[in-house]
DNA sequence: GCTGAAAAGCACAACGG
DNA sequence: CCGTTGTGCTTTTCAGC
């Protein structure tokens, strides 16, 4: 199922489900202008096709005691396939790292990190990240505040 | 409602709702070990307190024709409050920019951008971003692949 | 605070246009 | 493809513990 196969109603469905992932099917059907059963069939099809990957609650970090968001640009000592894979595997196990990308340019990885405070983040950078056998360089960017939050996919 | 006010069951609820935002209240109640009505009351309380900010469908970018994810580190010419605010406001209007943070260090803003292809992204960087009156420097990092996706908040 | 029961609303399958 | 119908489950409220 590619984008070209989606019609105007599918696009509306995706827009609404991004906005509110817990909307009821009947309300969704109303909003997109069809009756409930075909609407549900479309949603299931989008899920099965992998266009919709899942539904998730979005939590407020600060209110849960995670006051710090930072990005780390990590360069490895070697960029062989096995080194990249080994580091990517380690990233999975570090709870501070919420998202990670392999990137081109000066660094090899970009990590989005969340921590309770600056001390916890620095401990992670010094004791875990720079201490890692694969890691060569680490540059960090502390965020001051998030200025755009829910960049929904503009389908 | 602060983190200290959350008990073990609230934590379990948050964990489950992050994992599956469309889980039924009955199943959620089973998983966390209480009956459905108090479970729903807890969820509502977490929503009203702003701990749960919302529920959203997660879409597959590549399958919708967005094959490129990139980060832009943007430095402004001036860092006065009005300049920072003016640029933050512009960021809201650019659909390619899905998330944005104000950061410290060499750059002033970090933008997570999504585009259909490299050409569309370069057009945005050259014709929109670097052409902006506030922008001084733009450094981009193209992502090769995402290696960690759903870093749930480990409450 | 939790549990249990009852009413309204919803999801989902089957069938027909 | 969409819509209508019908059944079973879920949500949600209201008592009672």
Please compute the mean of the pLDDT values over residues B111-123 and round it to a whole number.
96
pLDDT (tens digit per residue) in A71-130: 999 999 999 999 999 999 999 999 999 999 999 999 999 999 999 999 999 999 999 999
DSSP structure string for chain A: --GGG--HHHHHHHHHHHH-TT--HHHHHHHHTS-HHHHHHHHHHHHHTTSEEEEEEEE-TGGGT--EEEEEEEEES---HHHHHHHHHHHHH-TTEEEEEEE-SS-SEEEEEEESSHHHHHHIIIIIITTSTTEEEEEEEEEEEEEE-------
Question: From the list A65, A71, A103, which residue is nearest B143 (CB)?
Answer: A103
* Whole-number Å distance between alpha carbons of A143 and A72: 11
* Whole-number Å distance between alpha carbons of B123 and B129: 9
* Pairing verdict, β A135-148 and A68-76: antiparallel
First to last CA, chain B: 14
Query: Is residue B120 predicted with pLDDT exceeding 70?
Result: yes
* Two structure tokens written together for B87: 């640029």
Q: For residue A42, what pLDDT is reported?
A: 95
DSSP 8-class letter at B105: S
Q: For residue B137, what pLDDT is reported?
A: 97
Q: What percent of chain B has pLDDT over 70?
A: 94
pLDDT (tens digit per residue) in A22-62: 999 999 999 999 999 999 999 999 999 999 999 999 998 88
Please compute the mean of the pLDDT values over residues A132-142 and round it to a whole number.
97
Q: Which residues contact A140 (CB under 8 A, 6 or more apart)?
A: A70, A71, A72, A73, A125, B105
Q: Which residue is nearest to nucleotide C13 (CA to C1')?
A: A37
* Whole-number Å distance between alpha carbons of B17 and A56: 6
Please compute the mean of the pLDDT values over residues B41-48 and round it to a whole number.
91
* Whole-number Å distance between alpha carbons of B108 and B135: 10
DSSP SS3 for B97: strand
Q: Which of the nucleotides in strand C have any atom less than 7 Å away from a protein CB atom?
A: 1-5, 9-14
Domains in chain B with CATH codes? 7-48 (1.10.10.10), 62-142 (3.30.70.920)
Please compute the mean of the pLDDT values over residues B37-59 and round it to a whole number.
92
Assess whether B155 (CB) lies less than 7 A from strand D.
Answer: no
For an interface test with A, the pick among B47, B57, B102, B153 (most A C-beta atoms closer than 10 Å) comes out as: B57
Please compute the mean of the pLDDT values over residues B101-128 and round it to a whole number.
96
The model's confidence at residue B7, banded by pLDDT at 50, 70 and 90, is confident
Q: For residue B4, what pLDDT is reported?
A: 65
Q: Do A91 and B147 touch (CB under 8 A)?
A: yes
Nucleotide nearest to B24 in CA–C1' terms:
D10
The model's confidence at residue B1, banded by pLDDT at 50, 70 and 90, is low
Write down which residues 26-85 in A have CB closer than 7 A to strand C.
26-27, 36-37, 40
Indicate the pTM of the whole model: 0.87
């Amino acid at each position: 199922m590619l984008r070209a196969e989606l019609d105007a109603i599918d696009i509306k469905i995706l827009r609404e489900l991004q906005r509110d992932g817990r909307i009821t099917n009947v309300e969704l059907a109303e909003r997109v202008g069809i009756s409930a059963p075909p609407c549900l069939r479309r949603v299931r099809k989008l899920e099965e096709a992998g266009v919709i990957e899942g539904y998730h609650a979005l939590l407020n970090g600060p209110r849960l005691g995670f006051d710090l968001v930072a990005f780390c640009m990590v360069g490895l000592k070697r960029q062989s396939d096995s080194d990249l894979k080994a580091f990517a595997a380690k990233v999975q196990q570090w709870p501070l790292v919420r998202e990670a990308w392999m990137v081109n340019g000066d660094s090899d990885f970009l990590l989005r990190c969340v921590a309770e405070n600056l001390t916890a983040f620095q401990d992670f950078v010094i004791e875990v990240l720079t201490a890692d056998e694969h890691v060569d360089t680490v540059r960090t960017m502390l965020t001051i505040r998030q200025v755009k939050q829910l960049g929904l996919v503009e389908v």
